[in-house]
Amino acid sequence: MSRTVLELLRLTTRWLGERGCPSPRVDAEVLLAHVLALPRMGLYTAHDRPLDDAEVDRYRALVRQRAEGVPVAYLTGTRGFWTLDLAVDERVLIPRPETEQLVEEALRRVGERRAAAWRIVDVGTGSGALALALAAELPHARVLGIDLDEDALAVARANAHLVPDPDRIRFVRGDLLAPLREHPRRPHLIVSNPPYIAAGDPRVEADVHGHEPHGALYGGDDGLDIIRRLVPQAAAMLAPGGWFLMEMGTGQGDAVRSLAAPHFAEVGVLRDLEGHDRVLWGEAAGALELGEEPSSEAAVDAGDAGADRGAGSTEEARAGSGAAAAGVEPEDGDDPPEEGGDPTASTGPAPAVDAAGRPLPVVDLQSL
């Protein structure tokens, strides 16, 4: 006899619970909703619906993987972040709800100026979560997501279609802010959720350690290896009056504040809803000057390889305007690097190399 939605949920919840799953009911529901292509709440109105054999087989296969520790988001292939349903898989960290605090803080600083031509960089973009959430909120922002991991970038690019006008979003490979090194226009906002967990931290759940990319999780012996390099780079690259917003781990607030204080005009550490240190903010000296809302021509980029762009862009769209070069010239008050010198030479990013010691490209980011 075929089982109904409710019967299957009861059995599966018990079965997952007996195997140590920390959230058996929720997981059972999310996976069943996925198999039946229903919203989770739709399971309740369909509680007496019988499942056919194929549906039960698909559900069983997913539930077994969940019992083996595979995170639910990798099984369903999606994770909600801010307003977006991002595609995720084992190539990227599963975006966490606490990271939405960075989006909130960024938008608080943007305030009324949502229509301005913000230049935003997301360092360690992973699935593109922060880059795309901000692009979704700021219609004229030009957004660059950087990641060291080409596999992660493929996921981010595949998510770019989720926001309007994905041609203004670009994803490039690079070590922290190295891709911006030679670009004359500075970002107004740099956001980052870097790897910050200390190697061997016993609080890391087995499912997380066993399935999420270690390059996205771990930041060396004390968790601060990446942050130590990122903080001075971000300070050196920001436009005058720009902001750096970075997620950190529980208990890292004092260390991160001390690292950041010498580099910014002002810094602070914000707590999350549970009272843990969560977000570093740093403000660059000077007054923030934002460009006007860009014209459609100026928004078209005369930049580099199309492969670096968000999904949905085409070479034709990129090259289609004779006025495209307008996007190259600074259109606001940000200082370009001084003549003959790189302003980031002392604290800015060094040219990155890949695992074989070959230099990674410095990307010509005309659209930022």
Ligand X SMILES: C[S@@+](CC[C@H](N)C(=O)[O-])C[C@H]1O[C@@H](n2cnc3c(N)ncnc32)[C@H](O)[C@@H]1O
User: Cα–Cα distance between 9 and 28 in angstroms, integer?
Assistant: 6
Least separation in angstroms between CB 94 and ligand X: 7
61 DSSP assignment: H
Nearest distance from C-beta of residue 205 to ligand X, angstroms: 15
Alpha carbon distance 205, 200 (integer Å): 11
| Contact between 147 and ligand X per CB under 6 A | yes
Q: Min. distance of Cβ 151 from ligand X in angstroms? A: 9
* Pick 147 or 301: Cβ nearer ligand X: 147
Report, in Å, the least distance between residue 89 CB and ligand X: 13
The span of 35-43, 70-78, 124-132, 278-286 binding ligand X (CB under 6 A) equals 124-132
Q: Is 212 in the site for ligand X (CB under 6 A)?
A: no
* Residue from 116, 121, 130, 299 binding ligand X (CB under 6 A): 130
Binding span for ligand X by CB under 6 A among 45-53, 136-144, 190-198, 325-333: 190-198
129 belongs to the binding site for ligand X (CB under 6 A): yes
Using CB under 6 A as the binding rule, whether residue 298 contacts ligand X is answered as no
- For the record, the structure tokens of 122 come out as 């997301």
**179 touching ligand X, by CB under 6 A:** no
Least gap, CB of 170 to ligand X (angstroms): 15
CA dihedral over 115, 118, 123, 126, signed as positive or negative:
positive
Residue 288 has, within 13 A of its CA and on its CB side, a CA count of 20
The DSSP call for residue 325 is G
Measure Cα distances from 123 to 17, 174, 176, 195, 250 in Å.
Answer: 38, 9, 6, 11, 20
Q: Which of 127, 159, 313, 367 binds ligand X (CB under 6 A)?
A: 127
Site string for ligand X, 73-102 (x = CB under 6 A): --------------------x-x---x---
Give the separation between CA 229 and CA 191, rounded to whole angstroms.
14
**CB-nearer residue toward ligand X: 215 or 306:** 215
Cα-based distances in Å from 233 to 131, 152, 198, 278:
19, 22, 21, 20
Closer by beta carbon to ligand X, 32 or else 138? 138
* Identity of the residue, 95 or 242, whose beta carbon is nearer to ligand X in the bound complex: 95
Using the rule CB under 6 A, is 216 a contact of ligand X? Answer: yes
State the minimum distance, in angstroms, from the CB of residue 188 to ligand X.
19
Amino acid at 261: A
Burial 84-113 (b: 16+ CB within 10 A, else e): bebbbbebbbbbeebbbbbbebbeebbeee
Assess contact for 186 and 363: CB atoms under 8 A: no
Is 233 an interacting residue with respect to ligand X (CB under 6 A)? no
Which residues form the interface with ligand X (CB under 6 A)?
93, 95, 99, 123-127, 129-130, 146-149, 152, 175-176, 193-195, 215-216, 226
